[in-house]
């Protein structure tokens, strides 16, 4: 089962979020959808990856907590920018992991 942050960011072009989440949970392909997650790499703030990678059971079982969902790569990059700007505006810093732990 995938882990979703309770306050997941959703791109404006994402339609039928419940349907997309259900298909992802069932290991089905959702072309064009990108997911945002907190990075395991300390050099990165966030990870962006295509949802189709979750069709691989090992990838799905290792998937970190999902904090955002976007339609297309461009929207995913824009969503990352919005998230980082919001965190900086609210905290004066870009400590993304700490922000989501306390949110």
Task: Give DSSP secondary structure letters for 27-74.
Answer: T---TTEEEEEE-SSTT-SEEEEEGGGGGSHHHHHH---EEEEEESHH
- Kindly give, in sequence order, each residue whose CB lies less than 8 Å from that of residue 35, ignoring residues fewer than 6 positions away: 48, 49, 50, 51, 54, 63, 66, 68, 69, 70
Q: What is the pTM of this model?
A: 0.89
pLDDT at 60: 65
On the question of pLDDT at 6 being above 70, the answer is yes
> What is the average pLDDT across 91-95?
92
Coil, strand or helix: which one is 8? strand
pLDDT at 55: 77
pLDDT band at 93 (very low <50, low <70, confident <90, very high): very high
pLDDT per position as a tens digit, 36-74: 999 888 889 999 999 998 877 776 677 788 999 999 999
1 contacts 25 by C-beta, under 8 angstroms: yes
Report d(CA 36, CA 87) in Å as an integer. Answer: 15
């Amino acid at each position: 089962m995938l882990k979703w942050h309770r306050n997941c960011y959703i791109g404006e072009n994402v339609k039928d979020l419940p349907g997309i989440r259900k298909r992802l949970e069932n290991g089905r392909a959702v072309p064009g959808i990108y997911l945002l997650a907190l990075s395991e790499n300390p050099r990165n703030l966030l990870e962006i990856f295509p949802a189709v990678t979750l069709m691989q059971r090992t990838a799905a079982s290792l998937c970190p907590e999902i904090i955002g969902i976007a339609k297309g790569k461009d929207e995913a990059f824009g969503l990352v920018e919005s998230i980082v700007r919001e965190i900086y505006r609210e905290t004066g810093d870009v400590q993304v992991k700490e922000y989501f732990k306390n949110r």
